[in-house]
């Protein structure tokens, strides 16, 4: 899904099971749907002069193809879901992604089961946001825009 595409697009990439947001374990993940997240982030980015491309896939290979397809985006917000734990191929694709990206988790993964406490992708991210519900997507997008704007101002000097 592409929303208000510009040459300054951010990628919103969501992994396994995140397409069921709004109905999946609402006590953990809330009732906001992925479509609502996409709309909110798109509006936030549009106000800053950026567009949004959004993809959600349940398979690791599809996520990797999406990263390759959107290499021209200026940044990415990535919720790898459970692939954070053992998604080594996704990790390698994220290592090759040429723009800054932030990892987002709706729940505080470190307050949950111990198997969720280690991420193979986190060391590659410019930042990690976890535990703020779907608002974490907005926080990540804002942080990336600020980073992009700061870098642009630095280049202009």
User: 29, 50, 97, 137: which one is catalytic?
Assistant: 29
> In angstroms, rounded to a whole number, what is the distance separating the alpha carbons of residues 150 and 45?
16
- Nearest 5°: the CA angle 31, 37, 43 is 140
Element spanning 3, H or E: strand 2-3
Residue 118 is classified by DSSP as -
Quick check: is 137 catalytic?
no
- Is 118 a known ligand-binding residue? no
Q: Which residue in 68, 105, 135, 137 is the catalytic one? A: 105
Q: How many CB atoms lie within 10 A of CB 94?
A: 22
Active site (annotated) includes residue 29: yes
What contacts 107, CB < 8 A, 6 or more positions away?
Answer: 28, 29, 130, 131
- The reply to whether 106 sits in an annotated binding site is yes
Q: 8 labelled as ligand-binding?
A: no
Pairwise CA distance, residues 83 & 121, whole Å:
9
Sequence ranges of the binding site: 79, 92, 106-107, 116
Catalytic residue positions, numbered: 29, 105
Sequence ranges of the binding site for substrate: 79, 92, 106-107, 116
């Amino acid at each position: 899904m592409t929303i208000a595409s510009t040459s300054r697009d951010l990628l919103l990439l969501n992994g396994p099971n995140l397409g069921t947001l709004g109905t999946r374990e609402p006590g953990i993940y809330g009732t906001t749907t992925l479509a609502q997240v996409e709309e909110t982030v798109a509006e936030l980015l549009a106000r800053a002069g950026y567009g949004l491309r959004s993809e959600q896939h349940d398979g690791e290979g599809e996520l990797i193809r999406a990263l390759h397809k959107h290499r021209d985006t200026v940044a990415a917000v990535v919720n790898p879901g459970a692939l954070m734990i053992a998604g080594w191929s996704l990790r390698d694709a994220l290592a090759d992604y040429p723009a800054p990206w932030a990892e987002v988790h709706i729940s505080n993964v470190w307050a949950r089961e111990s198997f969720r406490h280690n991420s193979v992708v986190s060391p590659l991210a410019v930042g990690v946001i976890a535990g703020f519900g779907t608002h974490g997507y907005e926080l990540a997008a804002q942080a990336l825009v600020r980073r992009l704007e700061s870098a642009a101002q630095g280049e202009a000097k």
